[in-house]
Amino acid sequence: MRLAGARVLVTGASSGIGAATALELSARGARLVLSGRDQEALAGVAARTGGEILPADLSDPSADLAVRAGRVDMLVACAGEGWSGPLARMPGGTAERVIAVNLAAHVQLTRLLLPGMLERGRGHLVYVASIAGVVGVREEAVYAATKAGLLAFAESLRYELPGVGVTAVVPGVVDTPFFARRGRPYTRRRPAPVPPERVARAIAVAVERDRAEVYVPAWLRLPARLHGAAPGAFRVLARRFGRP
């Protein structure tokens, strides 16, 4: 899909991968609609990209983001919520919020935006998932489940959408405020976090080249393939070398 002139809705655009993606797409000529909860941060991104601001909390099922966005040629689903710790200790309401923001809201948003794309015979859907959704992560069961759901959603849509591209992005550890917000900072030396700009560039290239799936960094395909081909061996290695 040609990005120049395309009207792109980016969720989670106030920081992290969403903000970096907005800057990258703007540099390639896209017209942006920026959504997020932090209005002040969104205003800063809009000032650098010329984007339109649509504040929204995707955990609220009554949010009318699709209606307010109007015609959209491309959706980049970056908004995400996390929580880290044993599932038995998860506070009430947290699982519902993580599921709503990471998965349910983007399913609903896609459903509402898709008819216009199909009518025009063009469009692109991008879902920022996580390696956690491929291999699972200890003490992040709900988060991993939502990302796995997003990957399955994207894969299923590819079979039914003529003229509309679908891309799933599978990042590993990214240097964003996500870890602080989930309640546990990232403390491992390896793998080292990658900058969000690297993910943003991968998103732009994937859309322009109509790629169905992209891993960032690319070496993450190896553990993903091992997990798929030999899940037992993968689990043994994961236990031996630390939490996956």
Phi-psi region of 31 (alpha: psi -120 to 50; beta: other; left: phi over 0): beta
- What does the angle CA 1 – CA 212 – CA 157 come to, to the nearest 5 degrees? 95
- Which residues fall within 8 angstroms of residue 163, CB to CB, at 6 or more apart? 117, 118, 121, 122, 123
Domains of the chain (ranges plus CATH)?
A: 7-240 (3.40.50.720)
The structure's pTM equals 0.93
Under the banding of pLDDT at 50, 70 and 90, the label for residue 228 is: very high
- With a pLDDT cut of 70, the percent of the chain lying above it is 97
143 is catalytic: yes
* Segment 88-144, tens digit of pLDDT: 999 999 999 999 999 999 999 999 999 999 999 999 999 999 999 999 999 999 999
Compute the distance between CA of residue 200 and CA of residue 12 in angstroms, rounded to an integer: 13
Query: Average pLDDT in the 184-205 region?
Result: 88
> Nearest to residue 200, comparing CAs of 104, 109, 126, 113?
126
Compute the distance between CA of residue 111 and CA of residue 29 in angstroms, rounded to an integer: 26
Q: Which of 143, 159, 186, 215 is catalytic?
A: 143
* Segment 10-33, tens digit of pLDDT: 999 999 999 999 999 999 999 999
